[in-house]
Structure 1
Amino acid sequence: MDRLSSVLNAFRPKTSSVDCLCLDDLSSGLFLSAEFSYWVYIVSGDVTLCSKENGDIRLYKGDGVWLATGQKLDVLITPDHQQQVSLLLCEYDFGTKALNPLLDLEWQWVLVSHDDVIAQQLAPLNTLLLGESLQPRCGSQAVVERLAEAYLVQLLRLFLQTQKIQLGLMAGLSDIRLAKAIVAIHEQPQQAWQVASLAEKAGMSRSVFSGAFKATMGMTPMAYLTSWRMRLAAQRIKNGDKNIAMLSDQLGYQSEAAFRRTFKKVIGVAPGGMNE
């Protein structure tokens, strides 16, 4: 399994909505739900987006910004462009945000300028998405939703290829050596992985691997293994898996009691409290 699919197979995004907004729609700012992720693309004009979390960012025609989690944005519009400001807003649902490592906050604001290689690679798909969004036709809603999902996967793929993200899971997956160990964890969470065996997967010495992993991922290899196991467990419980004993065994725990203790420590609630 490839490095991106190893995550998306467990936490698959869905398009919640795709909207084209004009100047009048932006007069009171953008209120983006913290439960969703967003791609904001400037179709025409230029704007400044202001947020308490990330400061101000100036966007011109053809620029876009990825928000791993929504927030309140004030929109400041250059007076010279008040008659031609419009943007495309794609909203994505990854399920329970706290369970998805793709949405960890270290990289919640990622700019893609119009002259960036990422924007150039996205151009053909962007043209299709804009065409269907701006001029709806028969069946456009279904087409737009699928195009937006394909757009997101391509965007994340290009983030990996260009090493756009500097910290967290996307940064780890951008490093070819670390990615081998991370994908091994994703594919076989039940294995009794140790730092030495993961370092071997990465083709690195134990000490070099440990240092690089923590510096890039923000946690130790063993902490990430535990986090991934518990996030998978929480996802499965939310989806109706009630057999905790079997689940703990499938995720590499020799006792249900140990699994339950770890689950509550990492997720913050007992397994039985996930659906309350």
Structure 2
Amino acid sequence: MFDPLAEVVTLLQPGASFSKIVSGVGAWRVRRSVTGQPFYCAILDGGCRLSVAGQPAITLHAGDFLLIPAAYDFTMMSLQPMADGDADTPPVEVRPRDFRVGTQDIPADVQLLVGHCTFGSPDAALLVSLLPKVIHVRGERRLATLVELVTEEARGQRPARDVILAHLLEVLFIEALRSTATENAPAGLLRGLGDERLAVAIRQMHEHPNQPWTVAQLAREAALSRSTFFERFKQALGMAPMAYLLTWRMALAKNLLHGRDGSIAEIAQQIGYSSVSAFSVAFTRYTGLTPGRYSRDEAAV
């Protein structure tokens, strides 16, 4: 069966950037401001709290995994509260890729694997917009096994370490995302895939982007009336069906133009446009660049 979720992750091209082990004890707090990088955190032992951009703090426990596809301002802190006026706690590197926060001379009560990674896609921001802002997974044995493998690889200096880490992270992301693909997920692709009726239509759009889909045709695929399908889709994904289809076609187009996989006419046909001019108008309206200009700019990077 065609899998839209796996395709989105594959198009994102996740790669290993930086990971480290962080141990903490007592009261501590670390704030970070980053520019939209993907951030992940696995709780190996103990517990801590994390707040993202002013949202209420999330309490994390051993075995939990948290992924922020585009992180900006976030704060990690101990379960033991700190006063608002207390200074933040600078991490101390005790050995390569191994940091300590809080009191230095007593056994740690929490251990984390934290890291940033990269998305190699030329359209990562668009794809990330289809995902929840924060993905928190708890009690998944398979995920815990993957985290253990990532931890071992991150700590070691074995041959092909970065290649192995990149592949493990891709699997880890897919596992984390599909663990939260339910009807209770925030609006976006995961919530849509958690609705078995909508999932049929989403799979069709991903598998056959070259088809001249209409809302009525997609509604028939989902075995829903046109009006019910439209409202249910918009509520679940946060956008109308045709807007989602355009978003997906443009993501595919950017990826194909980035590698210049075929002529512009062939790319247009692959993603559902009957002519180069129709594709060019849609692409230019969406990106501000013609397909040819976009392809040349990408080749020059």
TM-score when scaled to structure 1? 0.82
What residue in structure 2 maps to residue 89 of structure 1?
A: 114
Larger displacement relative to structure 2 (218-227 or 86-95): 86-95
Structure 1 residues 1-276: aligned runs within 5 Å: 1-23=2-24, 29-34=31-36, 36-52=37-53, 54-78=55-79, 82-83=102-103, 84=108, 85-96=110-121, 98-99=123-124, 102-104=127-129, 107-112=132-137, 116-117=138-139, 119-134=140-155, 136=156, 138-139=158-159, 141=161, 142-160=163-181, 162-163=182-183, 165-241=185-261, 243-274=263-294, 275=297
> Root-mean-square deviation (CA), in Å?
3.0
- Aligned letter for 1:58? T
Larger displacement relative to structure 2 (69-78 or 219-228): 69-78
Q: Structure 2 vs 1, CA of residues 272 and 54 (structure 1 numbering), >3 Å: closer, same or farther?
A: farther
* Deviations 1:234-256 (CA, angstroms, capped at 9, x unpaired): 12112234732332232222232
Unaligned runs of 5+ in 2: 82-100
Instruction: Name which structure has the greater RCO, CA cutoff 8 Å, separation 6+.
Output: 2
Larger displacement relative to structure 2 (180-189 or 139-148): 139-148
- What is the deviation of 1:168? 0.9
Q: Structure 2 vs 1, CA of residues 51 and 124 (structure 1 numbering), >3 Å: closer, same or farther?
A: closer
Q: Structure 2 vs 1, CA of residues 27 and 50 (structure 1 numbering), >3 Å: closer, same or farther?
A: same
CA contact (8 A) 2:44 2:62 kept: yes
CA contact (8 A) 1:68 1:105 kept: no
Q: Structure 2 vs 1, CA of residues 89 and 273 (structure 1 numbering), >3 Å: closer, same or farther?
A: farther
Counterpart Cα distance in 2 of 1:74 and 1:257: 48
Q: Structure 2 vs 1, CA of residues 52 and 158 (structure 1 numbering), >3 Å: closer, same or farther?
A: closer
Count of residues paired in the alignment: 268
- What is the deviation of 1:189? 0.9
CA contact (8 A) 1:99 1:235 kept: no
Counterpart Cα distance in 2 of 1:55 and 1:98: 30
Select the structure that is richer in helix: 1
3-state secondary structure, aligned to 2:49 = strand
Counterpart Cα distance in 1 of 2:279 and 2:164: 43
Unaligned runs of 5+ in 1: none
* Deviations 1:202-245 (CA, angstroms, capped at 9, x unpaired): 12222211111111111111121122111211121122347323
**Identical-residue share of aligned pairs (%):** 31
CA contact (8 A) 1:45 1:60 kept: yes
3-state secondary structure, aligned to 2:191 = helix
- What is the deviation of 1:106? 6.3
Counterpart Cα distance in 2 of 1:174 and 1:143: 30
Q: Structure 2 vs 1, CA of residues 251 and 144 (structure 1 numbering), >3 Å: closer, same or farther?
A: closer
Q: Structure 2 vs 1, CA of residues 196 and 221 (structure 1 numbering), >3 Å: closer, same or farther?
A: same
- What is the deviation of 1:30? 3.2
TM-score when scaled to structure 2? 0.76
Q: Structure 2 vs 1, CA of residues 57 and 105 (structure 1 numbering), >3 Å: closer, same or farther?
A: farther
Q: Structure 2 vs 1, CA of residues 147 and 10 (structure 1 numbering), >3 Å: closer, same or farther?
A: closer
